Chains A and B, each alone.
Chain A
Amino acid sequence: MAKAQTINKKRKTEEPLSPDISSESEGEGMDVVGEGDESSSDEASDEEGVPDETGVPDETEFAVASGVDVDLILPSPKSTGKYVNKQRCLILSSRGVTQRQRHLLEDIRTLIPHMKKDSKLDEKQNIGAAMNEIASVKSCNSAILLECRKRQDCYMWAGLTPNGPSAKFHLSNVHTLDELKMTGNCMKGSRPLLSFDASFKDPEQPHLGLIKELFTEIFGTPRGHPKSKPFIDRVMSFYVADGRIWVRNYQIVEEEAQNAKEARDKKLDLGLDTSLVEIGPRFVLNPMRIFAGSFSGQTLYTNPDFVSPNEIRSMEQKGKGVQYQSRKQQQKDRKQRKTTIEKSKRHDPLADVFK
């Protein structure tokens, strides 16, 4: 256990700003703002020793014994199991959404039991104000907006209302729940485990940390929500690859005990196999911009690698134009060359003698 503690302490001093400080004390949070006093972090780590000794010592011991990294889950204040975390998420799309995107929207709605829906948004200019207003009417504190442009490009806004932050993503590679390749199934409203890959705690990429927090707020089902189920049967996972965020949703399939021995193993948690089956939807989000406010406000981050689909299309067109121009140029050159060759031919005085 002491080992576990030292690991925690070490980690804190090294990277106190890492985004997986999810369940640490408030003092840490203040430190993040950049006051720069070293003492607060020390205090925090001292405080942290307390629950280790009194509250949940078994857990860390167990984790160390089983070779799982302790710092993935930090000791935190205990949840009472009551419906405390009252989240409501507004989910809607803009007008002109395509069929596939509409299906995705419906899928997200089925997966998020704490959602509120509203009719399609018909506001192009001042999305922030409109969203804030709807959210306040529906008493939501977070929102997802699928914004569709030109009936082909889809952008997903995700943010907290009314104070932000919020992020805008370019949505691509959408596969919905209806696809027959996704063979998994889960309870409606079951709480997902939210799995993030290591990039989300990279201190060099704080925008990913922020996105992680946004997703935990939005996709995590509050404990004890009336529509939620008390068991876990799915894991929603987010990965960063190729500079984009890939989203997958898996069912957790636990093998059932076939005989008494297996039943005993299961009881002792010696690990009957759990496997994952994809439920869907799957999609890829390319972060474009992160705003300090909700759906508006100061820009905190822009993605340098993002090329807008409009630009790609126009460049494609331009490329075609260049092709045409070069062909025309070649034709012209050839003609010129021919004429110069014709001209430069030496005059043959006897050329028409044998005609």
Chain B
Amino acid sequence: MAKKSKSKKSVEAIVEAKEDFEVYSDDEDEEMQLENDTPEGEEEDDYEAEARALAQAMREGAFDKLVKASAKELAVDDDDDDNGEDDGDEDEDEEDLDSDDAPPPSTKNFINNKVGLRAATAAILERDLPWEERLDIVSNTAIDPPENPLDTNDDLKRELAFYKVAEEAVKIGKQHFKSTKMKFTRPMDFFAEMVKSDEQMAKIKDRLIFESKKMQAFEQRKANKEQIGREKEKRDAKLKQKAREKRDNLSKVEEWKKDAANNRGSLNDNDDKDRMDKFGINKKRDRADKKFGFGGKKGKFKKTDKKSMNDMSSFNPRGNFSGGMKSSKKGGGNAGAGAGKRPGKRARDSKRSRG
């Protein structure tokens, strides 16, 4: 189609070019007319003389032969007069021929001999073949009606219009076949040589598959891209949220600082807790505070003093250290609480294997 549009463009260009030419030539014509102004009267006289001579000749019958010979053609001309469009063209041509002896721009005389065309059509139809021999179907829908012209450059629209007309024709044809009891559909078991070879059809099939795959891949790529975009958006939103929170917190701290500076020295100085509450409770910290206490001197906490030195409450004589009175089966009897305890792993394994 690109080719076509190109040719169309070129035609337009030509028309423009023609117009340009005409512009130039018009000027020249004017000049010519100016020059020719003076001898016009003489020319007219010449024409009149010529016309008189011709009329005389016709009266004498010099053209009778010609008229007889071309009676047919004259009839054709008459028919042409019926045709409005062509009429206009011809008139123009005649004017051109009359007006000047310079060559007219277009001497093409378009013929549309309707009677002749109809006669020729009728001559073909004289054989009068039944429809079953011809299988022609003329649709009632025009593809390119003048009131609703088809844009032939729009491939999809055009092919759709074509398809519809053909489909309609098939419907009509099928009905006619049915009414005359002719076979239309090929039975499944009728094998015949096809127009396109199997190799060609295989190629076509391959191409169709390839095409569908291409489409799929394209869709996939598109979906992936979308996914990536969405994720990125999400991440960005999250980062933004974080940044906003940080900014808010910092501004709160600033606010607090300012307040604190204003209130320094006044009595109600230590309302930090209220402010800290604004940030919410750090649960981990809270738990740790409960467990280990909060504040106080750090070093003192770990120092041994007299009391802690003598405190043996946390000492376990059967503790898990070498030399400790670790419970075993041998010493089971006097091992006290340790006697009923679970044996070691190896013992358990060996017991299991035996049992």
A111, CB-defined interface residue at 8 Å: yes
Return the contact of A193 from the options B126, B135, B140 (Cβ within 8 A): B135
Q: Which chain B residue has the least Cβ–Cβ distance from A224?
A: B133
* Distance between A55 CB and nearest chain B CB, rounded to angstroms: 10
A residues near B10, Cβ cutoff 8 Å: 312, 315-316, 319
* Distance between A189 CB and nearest chain B CB, rounded to angstroms: 8
Return the contact of B194 from the options A23, A185, A303 (Cβ within 8 A): A185
Return the contact of B169 from the options A195, A202, A301 (Cβ within 8 A): A195
Return the contact of B137 from the options A185, A190, A194, A315 (Cβ within 8 A): A194
B residues near A29, Cβ cutoff 8 Å: 122-123, 125-126, 128
Whether the Cβ atoms of B130 and A210 lie closer than 8 Å is: no
Whether the Cβ atoms of B125 and A21 lie closer than 8 Å is: yes
CB-CB under 8 A for A72 and B172, given A180-B203, A230-B183, A307-B11: yes
B residues near A269, Cβ cutoff 8 Å: 174-175, 178
Interchain CA distance A186-B86 in the complex, whole Å: 44
A25, CB-defined interface residue at 8 Å: yes
A residues near B177, Cβ cutoff 8 Å: 232
Return the contact of A79 from the options B130, B139, B171 (Cβ within 8 A): B130
Binds A, one of B28-36, B109-117, B218-226, B249-257: B109-117
A242, CB-defined interface residue at 8 Å: yes
- Taken residue by residue from 42 to 76, chain A's Cβ proximity to chain B (1 for < 8 Å, 0 otherwise) reads as 00000000000000101100110010110011101
Q: Which chain B residue has the least Cβ–Cβ distance from A307?
A: B11
Q: Which chain B residue has the least Cβ–Cβ distance from A244?
A: B152
Whether the Cβ atoms of B11 and A206 lie closer than 8 Å is: no
Return the contact of B125 from the options A206, A213, A240 (Cβ within 8 A): A213
Interface residues of A in 59-116 (CB under 8 A from B): 59, 62-63, 66, 68-69, 72-74, 76-79, 81, 84-85, 110-111
B87, CB-defined interface residue at 8 Å: no
* Distance between B45 CB and nearest chain A CB, rounded to angstroms: 38
B residues near A34, Cβ cutoff 8 Å: 115, 118-119
* Distance between A262 CB and nearest chain B CB, rounded to angstroms: 14
CB-CB under 8 A for A237 and B17, given A209-B118, A254-B185: no
Interchain CA distance A232-B85 in the complex, whole Å: 42
Interchain CA distance A79-B150 in the complex, whole Å: 38
Interchain CA distance A235-B121 in the complex, whole Å: 23
Which of B's residues lie within 8 Å of A, judged by CB?
1, 3-4, 7, 10-11, 13-14, 16-18, 20, 85-86, 89, 108, 110-126, 128-145, 150, 152, 158, 161-163, 165-180, 182-188, 190, 192-196, 200-201, 203-204, 207-208
Whether the Cβ atoms of A187 and B120 lie closer than 8 Å is: no
Whether the Cβ atoms of A188 and B174 lie closer than 8 Å is: no
Interchain CA distance A194-B11 in the complex, whole Å: 33
CB-CB under 8 A for A63 and B117, given A199-B143, A237-B165, A241-B152: no
Whether the Cβ atoms of B171 and A207 lie closer than 8 Å is: no
Q: Which chain A residue has the least Cβ–Cβ distance from B207?
A: A180
Q: What's the interface size class on A, roughly?
A: 35 or more
Interface residues of A in 104-162 (CB under 8 A from B): 110-111, 160
Interchain CA distance A230-B177 in the complex, whole Å: 12
A residues near B176, Cβ cutoff 8 Å: 59, 73
B residues near A6, Cβ cutoff 8 Å: none
A residues near B115, Cβ cutoff 8 Å: 34
Return the contact of B122 from the options A33, A196, A279, A307 (Cβ within 8 A): A33
A283, CB-defined interface residue at 8 Å: no
CB-CB under 8 A for A69 and B195, given A32-B121, A77-B128, A322-B17: no
Interchain CA distance A201-B121 in the complex, whole Å: 12
Whether the Cβ atoms of B200 and A178 lie closer than 8 Å is: yes
Which of A's residues lie within 8 Å of B, judged by CB?
17, 19-26, 29-30, 32-34, 56, 58-59, 62-63, 66, 68-69, 72-74, 76-79, 81, 84-85, 110-111, 160, 164-165, 172-173, 177-178, 180, 182-183, 185-188, 190-202, 206-207, 209-210, 212-214, 216-217, 220, 222-223, 229-233, 235, 237, 239-242, 246, 248, 250, 252, 254, 256, 269, 274-276, 279, 290, 292, 298-304, 307, 311-312, 315-316, 318-319, 322
A residues near B172, Cβ cutoff 8 Å: 63, 68-69, 72-73
B residues near A20, Cβ cutoff 8 Å: 136, 138
* Distance between B201 CB and nearest chain A CB, rounded to angstroms: 6
Return the contact of B204 from the options A164, A183, A237 (Cβ within 8 A): A183
Return the contact of B180 from the options A56, A194, A302 (Cβ within 8 A): A56
Whether the Cβ atoms of A206 and B170 lie closer than 8 Å is: no
CB-CB under 8 A for A76 and B136, given A68-B175, A209-B121, A301-B113: no
| New contact pairs (10) apart from A231-B184, A275-B167, CB-CB < 8 Å | A32-B118, A56-B180, A78-B180, A164-B120, A195-B137, A199-B144, A235-B169, A279-B195, A315-B17, A319-B17
